[in-house]
């Protein structure tokens, strides 16, 4: 039998853990992270879970009790989370023979060794991530991805394992006992709806699903669930994706903290959103052949003011923010309705191709003189901050009133020069 195994490394309570890295006062306190516009709870610390706070709970319903509970709320700080995620994945990748970043806080890696060596490798990964990034992780190691996920769950729920579970280091009857007690819905990819259908067949636990006939499961459900059964029995069926499929679209979309009711206000919105979308396009090193502009009111407003997505096609693929801003502002000016209460907007770039490719020269275009505007803007923002420079009405020195509400936001400690943490000895 090969000693090649799969490890799943998962950051515990990722958003909350990121907030605690630079604010040790949050350790041991109940903490929640809120969605866009500080709407509802999207992440909870273990202490917040003990208080009975549910994911999705509206913030306005619980903020009155926050002081009595000692509860701390943080607005979503995706710049910080994304940067710390990249750092975690870089550290984790050092230990693997291959790596697949599964989500912002999870990564599969390949490991080699006997059970004792795998357990030791898991402890080394935990220590390295804590030392270099400052967030806690759990590590599950097994022969398949499904079992690695299951091992990770065991590592999280058993304090005695110290965050690491190499499944094959546990006695076989012990593992079988856990699988007999845990419902099938506790498995990766088995939702409550599928679990309910399985119960009608007498399959209630993970052990029951493991013992099921794979062919019957495929017939009654899907090939995906059949793969789960096979993986529970040690057969690798879920392929490794070491390189992500090329992006086909890039989108920048946000809700407003308060409605925008004028056409001029929506022009400001689109000037800002087009620039930010263009910045993402330039960061990815891509050009777009088309841009789709969207805006909408409340879904309860009977469609007043909303309009179908408007797509602008360019004569040739471009990454020029001036072109994008002009097109987005013109589209919104033509379709926006004065007096309508707009709550959200966005731009979507499609028809992408690498900017490094050969570009057709258009001798009648004036864009050649401004070809590197996007790169210049990006360089200035990287050095002096995102508010340092902008184009036209989108070059706000201060955030406009309609900007996304983030009353409890922490600093972007690792991505903005002006918000770097200060250490005093």
Per residue in 325-336, pLDDT tens? Answer: 889 899 888 888
**Does the structure show a pLDDT above 70 at 357?**
no
Confidence band for 364, pLDDT divided at 50, 70 and 90: very low
Task: Give the span between the Cα atoms of 276 and 3, in whole angstroms.
Answer: 47
SS (H, E, C) the chain: CCCEEEEEEEECCHHHHHHHHCCHHHCCCCEEEECHHHCEEEEECHHHHHCCCCCCCEHHHHHHHHHHHCCEEEECCHHHHHHHHHHHHHHHHCCCCCEEEEECCEEEEEEECCHHHHHHHHHHHHHHHHHHCCCCEEEEEECCHHHHHHHHHHHHHCHHHCCEEEHHHCCHHHHHHHHHHCEHHHCCCCCHHHHHHHHHCCCCEHHHHHCCCHHHHHHHCCHHHHHHHHHHCCCCCCCCCCCCCCCCEEEEEEEEEEEECCHHHHHHHHHHHHHHHHHHHHHCCEEEEEEEEEEECCCCCCCCCCCCCEEEEEEEEECCHHHHHHHHHHHHHHHCCCCCCEEEEEEEEECCEECCCCCCCCCCCCHHHHCCHHHHHHHHHHHHCCCCCCCHHHCCCCCCCCCCCCCCCCCCCCCCHHHCCCCCC
The full set of domains in the chain, from first to last, is: 1-166 (3.30.70.270), 171-243 (1.10.150.20), 249-395 (3.30.1490.100)
**Does the structure show a pLDDT above 60 at 367?**
no
Instruction: Provide the terminal-to-terminal Cα distance of the chain, rounded to the nearest Å.
Output: 55
Task: Give the span between the Cα atoms of 287 and 317, in whole angstroms.
Answer: 5
pLDDT tens profile 131-160: 999 999 999 999 999 999 999 999 998 888
Summarize the confidence of residues 377-387 as an average pLDDT. Answer: 56
Task: Give the span between the Cα atoms of 81 and 104, in whole angstroms.
Answer: 8
Q: Global pTM?
A: 0.68
**What does the block give as tokens for 40?**
């509802």
- Amino acid 146: pLDDT: 93
Other beta carbons less than 10 A from residue 202's beta carbon: 8
Task: Give the span between the Cα atoms of 404 and 222, in whole angstroms.
Answer: 41
Q: Name the average pLDDT for the chain.
A: 82
**What does the block give as tokens for 119?**
């357990």
- Amino acid 16: pLDDT: 93
**Does the structure show a pLDDT above 90 at 164?**
yes
The rounded Cα 3 to chain-centroid distance in angstroms is 32
- Amino acid 286: pLDDT: 85
- Amino acid 389: pLDDT: 55
CB-CB contact of 236 with 144 (8 Å) = yes
pLDDT higher for 221 or 386? Answer: 221
**Does the structure show a pLDDT above 60 at 370?**
no
Task: Give the span between the Cα atoms of 186 and 210, in whole angstroms.
Answer: 13
- Amino acid 369: pLDDT: 43
- Amino acid 398: pLDDT: 57
Task: Give the span between the Cα atoms of 357 and 286, in whole angstroms.
Answer: 9
Task: Give the span between the Cα atoms of 8 and 101, in whole angstroms.
Answer: 10
- Amino acid 73: pLDDT: 92
pLDDT tens profile 231-273: 999 999 887 764 444 456 787 777 776 788 888 888 888 888 8
- Amino acid 133: pLDDT: 93
């Amino acid at each position: 039998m090969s000693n090649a195994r799969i490890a799943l490394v998962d950051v515990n309570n990722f958003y909350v853990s990121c907030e605690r890295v630079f604010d040790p006062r949050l350790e041991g306190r109940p903490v929640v992270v809120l969605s866009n516009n500080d709407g509802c709870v999207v992440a909870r610390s273990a202490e917040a879970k003990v208080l009975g706070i549910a994911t999705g709970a509206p913030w306005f319903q619980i903020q009155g009790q926050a002081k009595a509970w000692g509860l701390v709320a943080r607005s979503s700080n995706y710049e910080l989370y994304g940067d710390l995620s990249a750092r975690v994945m870089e550290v984790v990748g050092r230990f693997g023979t291959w790596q697949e970043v599964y989500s912002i806080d999870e990564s599969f890696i390949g490991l080699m060794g006997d059970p004792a060596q795998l357990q030791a490798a898991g402890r080394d990964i935990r220590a390295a991530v804590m030392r270099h990034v400052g967030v806690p992780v759990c590590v599950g190691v097994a022969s398949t991805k499904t079992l690695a996920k299951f091992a990770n769950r065991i590592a999280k729920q058993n304090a005695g394992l110290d965050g690491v579970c190499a499944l094959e280091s546990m006695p076989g009857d012990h593992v079988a006992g856990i699988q007999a007690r845990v419902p099938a819905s506790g498995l990766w990819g088995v939702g409550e709806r599928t679990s309910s259908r399985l119960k009608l067949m007498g399959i209630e636990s993970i052990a029951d699903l493991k013992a099921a006939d794979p062919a019957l499961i495929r017939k009654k459900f899907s090939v995906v669930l059949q793969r789960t059964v096979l993986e529970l029995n040690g057969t690798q069926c879920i392929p490794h994706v070491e390189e992500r499929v090329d992006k086909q679209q890039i989108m920048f979309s946000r809700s407003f903290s308060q409605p925008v009711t004028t056409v001029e206000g929506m022009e400001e919105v689109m000037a800002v959103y087009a620039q930010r979308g263009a910045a993402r396009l330039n960061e990815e090193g891509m050009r777009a052949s088309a841009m789709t502009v969207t805006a909408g009111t409340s879904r309860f407003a009977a469609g007043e003011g909303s309009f179908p997505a408007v797509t602008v096609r360019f004569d040739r693929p471009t990454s020029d923010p001036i072109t994008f801003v002009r097109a987005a502002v013109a589209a919104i000016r033509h379709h926006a309705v004065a007096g309508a209460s707009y709550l959200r907007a966005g731009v979507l770039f499609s028809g992408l191709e690498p900017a490094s490719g050969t570009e057709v020269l258009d001798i009648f275009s004036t864009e050649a003189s401004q070809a590197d505007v996007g790169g210049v803007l990006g360089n200035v923002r990287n050095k002096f901050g995102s508010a340092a420079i902008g184009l036209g009405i989108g070059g706000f020195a201060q955030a406009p009133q309609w900007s996304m509400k983030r009353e409890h936001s922490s600093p972007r400690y690792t991505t903005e020069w002006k918000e770097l943490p200060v250490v005093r000895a």
